[in-house]
Structure 1
Amino acid sequence: MLGIASAELVLFFLTLNTAVLAILAATAIAFAVGYIDDSRAMPGWFKPAALCAAALPIVLLHAHGDHLNLVFGSAFIPLLYIPLIFVIIPVVGNTINSIDVLNGVASGFIIISSIPLLAATAIFGSIEVFLAGLPLFFAAIAFFRYHKYPSRIFPGDSGALLLGVMYGALAIAGKSEIIGVVALIPAVLNSFLFLSSVKRIIEHRQVRSRPVVILDDNRLAASKDPSAPITLVRLIVSEGPLSEKETSNKIFKLAIISAILAFATIAIQYVMM
C-alpha cells in the first residue's frame, strides 16, 4: 500500500488531477476495510457494505463521466451512473477477493486483466488515469514474484480488496467499465457461481462444506458433497484431481482468454467512436 500511495501522491502533485487522488483514496479505504476484516471475524455483509465508502471519493471528486461507454456506443446516464459506482466498487473488490483461494491467483489475475484495462484507459480515458494505473500493474508484478506457488507471502483481505477496488476505480475513472468487466469474466463467474449456490452473502470461512478437498498427495479434487458451493476451482478440478499449480495455471489461461476478448472489445468500441 505504501508503494502505491507514494507513486499516486507524486503523480497527483505533478498533475493536480483529482481523479488520481480519488483512485488513491478509494484504494486506501479498501485496504483499511480489508485490514479490519483480517484483524477480526466480521459478518458476510461487512465487506460489501463497507466498500461503498471506497466509492465515495470517486463520486465526491467527480472522477467519473456521465456516459457509460458501451461496446457499440455510449449511454448518457448522469443520474443512474452514481448509484452504479456504489455497485461496481464493492462488486469488483469482492470479486478479486473471492478468487484469491490459491497461491498467486489474485495478483496474477490482476496482472493479466490490467493489461487491456490500461490500454483502454489510454485510449478512452486520460493519460493521467493511465499513469495512475501503472502502480497497480507493477505492484502486482512485484507481489506475484513472492505470491506465486509456492507462496511466501499472502495478500489477505487487505491486499485482495486493494487490488480489486483499485482496478474498479481505474475502470471508472478511465471510462473503461465494460472492458474492465470483460477482462474479469472468470472472476465474475466464480463469484456468481458461489453466490448462486449458497444463496446469500457469507464469508468463505463460514462455509461448512468446502468446494474442493485436498487428497493425500496434495492434489485438489472436487467435493462430492452436493451441499458444497460451486466455484471456478471446483469446476476446473471436476474432471480430475490437479495440483495447486496446475489449477492456478488453468485460471490464468482463462484470464488470458478474457484479456483477448477485452482487447477485441476495445477494437470494436474504438471503431464505433
Structure 2
Amino acid sequence: MFKIFVDLFLMVIIQVAITPFIRRLAFVLGAVDNPNARRVNKKPMPTIGGLGIFVTFNIGCFILLREQFPTHELFSVFLASSVIVLTGMIDDILELKPWQKMAGIFVAALVIYYLAQIRMTELNIPLTNQVINLPWYLSLPITIFWILALTNAVNLIDGLDGLASGVSCISLLTMGIVGYYFLRNQGLYVPIACFMLAACLMGFLPYNFNPAKIFLGDTGALYLGFMISVLALKGLKNVTFISLVVPIVILGVPISDTIYAIIRRKLNNKPISQADKHHLHHQLMRLGLTQRQTVLVIYALSLIYSFVSMLFLLSPVWAMAMLLIGLLIAVELFVESIGLLGKKYKPLTKLIGHLVLHTATSKEPHVEVWHQGQAKPKEWQERSKGGHKPEAKADQSKNKK
C-alpha cells in the first residue's frame, strides 16, 4: 500500500512537469480556444490539456502500477481511450460537428463492450431477490448509452477554469473510496485507477484553475468523462439498485446539468445539440458570482452529492428512498431559485408557497366584525327578531345588580 501512495505522488509530480510541454505543443498544433459569445475567456487559450493527463495516467498504468491491472483489460481500455483522445484533439484543432464527436465516442464504447468486455450483464430488481440476465440486445444499448451519456455530461460542464477537472477529481476520489471500502467484489484495481486519474488531475489543476494557463479542451473533457464512465461501469458489472444509483449521484453535478439543458432546449424548441449560455455555471455568474466563486460553489455541490452517495451505501432501503426523494426535491428547488430553466419556471416553489399559505389561513380563527352603519349579519338579525340581542345579557345582569 505504501508503494501505491508513493507512485500516486510521483504521478502528481509527472503531471506538474509535463503540462508546460503540452501547453507549448498546443500552440504549435493550433489547438487554441479563441474567445466567442459562449466563452468566458477573454484571450486565446491553449487547449489539449487532457493529452498530458492521458500520458501521465498511462505512465502510471504501464510502468508504475503495472502489476495492479489485468493485461487484457488494460490494453483494451488504452485502445478505446486513444480513440477518445484522438477525437478530442481533432475537435480542439479543427472543430468537429457534434455527430462526428458522438461517432468517435460510439466507436470507443464498442471497443469497451467487445474487446475489454466491460458491460452491464445483470440487473438486480430493488426490494426483491430477482436477478435479470441481460441479453446482448439489451446489454449492448444500455452499455453504449451509459458511456455516451456520462462522457457528454462531463464535457458539457467544461465551461470555466478548473470546473470540469475539479468536479471530476472529486467524483474520482469518491468512486475510489466507495470502491475500496464498499464495492471490492471487482478487485482493487478499479479504485486504484480512480485514485490514479485523480492524482493526474491534482497535478493539472494548478495550471487549470482560475486564472488558467491551459484548458482541458475536448481532449481532456471527453477523456475524463469516458474514463469515469468505464471505471463506474466496471464496478457495475452485476448491477444492483444501490450500485447503479451511487455513481449517478456521485456525478450529480454534470448529470443534472445535462438533463436540465436537454429540458431547457426542448422547452425553447431548440435542437438538443445546440449550445447555449444557460448552464449551471452561467446562471451562477449571472447572480453576481466571480469565476472562482462559481467554481467553488459547484465544487461544494459536488461534495454534497458525494457525501449523499456514501450515505446510500450505509442506509437501509427505506432510508435510501427518503434520501433520494429529498435530494431530488432539493435539486429542483435549487434549479428554480437560480432560474436554470427560466425565471418563470418555478412549479415546485409555487406549490410549496400555496401549501404554506393554505395551511396558515386554515388555522386562523374566523372573526366577524360589525361596524355601526353597516347592515347587520344575517344571524344577528335573526337573533334580534327572537329577542336575543348580543347586548341583552349584559343589560339583564346590570338590572339584577
- For the aligned pair, the TM-score class normalised by the smaller chain equals 0.7 to 0.9
Post-superposition CA distance 1:105-163 (Å, at most 9, x none): 01100111112211233332321222222221111111112111111111100011111
1:2 to 2:60 alignment:
no
Cα shift at 1:72: 6.0
Q: Which amino acid aligns with 1:182?
A: V
Compare CA radii of gyration and give the structure with the larger one: 2
Identity between Structure 1 and Structure 2 (%): 24
Does the CA contact (< 8 Å) of 1:95 and 1:187 recur in 2? yes
Q: 1:185 aligns to what?
A: 252
> Is there any run of 5+ residues in structure 2 with no aligned partner, and where?
1-53, 237-242, 321-401
Moved more, 178-187 or 15-24: 15-24
Q: Does 1:39 align with 2:90?
A: no
Q: Displacement of 1:177 after TM fit?
A: 4.4
The aligned residue for residue 55 of structure 1 is 109
SS of the residue corresponding to residue 45 of structure 1 reads helix
**Is the CA contact 2:68–2:189 (under 8 Å) kept in the aligned structure 1?**
no
Counterpart pick for 1:76 among 124, 132, 141: 132
Q: TM-score, normalised by structure 2?
A: 0.56
Deviations 1:138-193 (A, max 9, x none): 11111112111111111100011111100110000122543221111121121122
How far is 1:15 from its partner?
4.2
CA distance in 2, matches of 1:109, 1:72: 32
Distance in 1 (alpha carbons) for counterparts of 2:168 and 2:118: 22
The Cα shift of 1:14 comes to 5.6
Aligned counterparts of 1:19 and 1:266: Cα–Cα separation in 2: 27
User: Structure 2 vs 1, CA of residues 188 and 15 (structure 1 numbering), >3 Å: closer, same or farther?
Assistant: closer
SS at match of 2:96: coil
Larger mean CA deviation between 53-62 and 19-28 belongs to 19-28
Give me the whole-angstrom Cα distance separating, in 1, the residues matched to 2:126 and 2:173.
18
SS of match in other structure, 1:150? coil
Report what 2:291 is aligned to: 244
RMSD: 2.7
Deviates more, 1:10-19 or 1:126-135: 10-19
Q: Assess, with a 3 A threshold, how the Cα gap between structure 1 residues 269 and 141 changes in structure 2: closer, same or farther.
A: farther
Confirm or deny that 1:28 pairs with 2:99.
no
Aligned pairs for 1:98-247 (under 5 A) are 98-122=156-180, 123-124=182-183, 125-175=186-236, 176-199=243-266, 200-202=271-273, 204=275, 207=276, 211=277, 230-238=278-286, 240-247=287-294
What is the one-letter code of the residue matched to 1:147?
N
Count of aligned pairs between the two proteins: 248
> 5+ residue gaps in structure 1?
212-229
Distance 1:269 1:172 in 2: 23
Measured at CA, do residues 152 and 69 of structure 1 come closer, stay the same or move farther in structure 2, by a change above 3 Å?
A: farther
The one-letter amino acid paired with 1:53 is V
